[in-house]
Structure 1
């Protein structure tokens, strides 16, 4: 297991604890999962930091869903959120910024990285919608980021295997590639074998039923968006273990 690193995309402190129990090396704590992940609350970060004793805590810095072209106000928010994550003891932060033309926003990235001193920095899946992945890889290396979370510019990492393999060869040990999106116990070994990548990002979630006895199925908190109010996805320790085991063998307690 030493040659691999496993990161769980955690949508709650409860999921963080399950990731730790399942043997994950770190979590990426996110809110707003249906939007692709947004910055978690102050309370989430504080309690996750208290709860995680064996697993590293990385925090996504993303003020909203949608694209990765940020306004001056949003940039100020991101700078404050990074400072907040550092003060609260996060081990790393996760962000990515693009220009209107689809290139890495070097100026903004430098500002965010400067505030991130002392923490690991992951450039997230904004990478997958950039104009030129090979050029972006070189720029992100030059910026000094520790890793890139990527699906190989495809809907899932398994579909992105061809580009992931090329990027891994291009990186040549200068930066870590973290394969993510759709990674699970059924395909992680295949992705590892085909690409040579050694770090993996997955959610290992299962849907649990609400304990509410009284229910009103005619009301949706998402308005016209169809959200299941009485079911929710959560990471489970058993599924984390299964995913890791499918690549490394049995987990030693």
Structure 2
């Protein structure tokens, strides 16, 4: 049965998502820049209260995904520190070269630091100039999941590419559609892509917190009988 991952930009959203039935949470700070590494203190609050796995964003700043040496050192330190806290279930990050290709060396280094916790390559993937090649590059790094809109602005606009990526990926890596995923379109996305997990912030209109009813609706639409 397909799963729902909810992107949560504060502790309260994480608690709401857990109670509403999220299968996994992506915890990050600074929604206005698309997410950055959250404070360790947030995990002390969610520990033992959130009932589903919590993956943590590793991103030192907003903007592009080409990092300086000092920024990459901060990412490595964050992975090591959060892993040693034993309060996270996985990591989410993405590293590119300025040529719009996957930085295989740095991505692999982060994966190795995170081991045995699983890692997701986030929507930095959609900025790669050659998505089929980027898929192979990410797979070679030991990443378990790719969060992607198929190179489009939203998953709904990228369904054809998402379906092709999922076909090319086979059982080598999980393709997780994300970007504008809501209860109003998740059933059509599932029909077109046949993905096993979907990513949504569950924010509606002017919401700043995850919307509990929207999460329940996402689950209901995804799990409805054909």
What TM-score does the superposition give when structure 2 sets the normalisation length?
0.95
Unaligned stretches of 5+ in structure 2?
A: none
Computing the radius of gyration over CA atoms, which structure comes out larger, 1 or 2?
1
Match of 1:24 in 2: 22
Match of 1:248 in 2: 223
Deviation per residue, 1:76-99 (Å, 9 max, x gap): 100011112212220000001000
Q: Distance in 2 between matches of 1:13 and 1:50?
A: 13
Quote the offset at 1:207 in angstroms: 6.5
2:187 aligned with 1:177: no
Match of 2:9 in 1: 11
Match of 2:78 in 1: 81
Unaligned stretches of 5+ in structure 1?
A: 209-231
2:203 counterpart (202, 205, 214): 205
2:63 counterpart (61, 66, 80): 66
Quote the offset at 1:45 in angstroms: 2.3
Q: Distance in 2 between matches of 1:164 and 1:206?
A: 24
What's the C-alpha RMSD, in Å, of the aligned pairs? Answer: 1.4
Quote the offset at 1:5 in angstroms: 1.3
Decide which moves more: 163-172 or 37-46: 37-46
Quote the offset at 1:206 in angstroms: 4.3
Q: Distance in 1 between matches of 2:47 and 2:72?
A: 25
Task: Provide the aligned length of Structure 1 versus Structure 2.
Answer: 224
2:159 aligned with 1:164: no
Match of 1:234 in 2: 209
Deviation per residue, 1:138-157 (Å, 9 max, x gap): 11112111100001111100
Q: Which SS does the other structure have where 2:6 is aligned?
A: strand
User: Which 4+ stretches in 1 moved above 6 angstroms?
Assistant: none
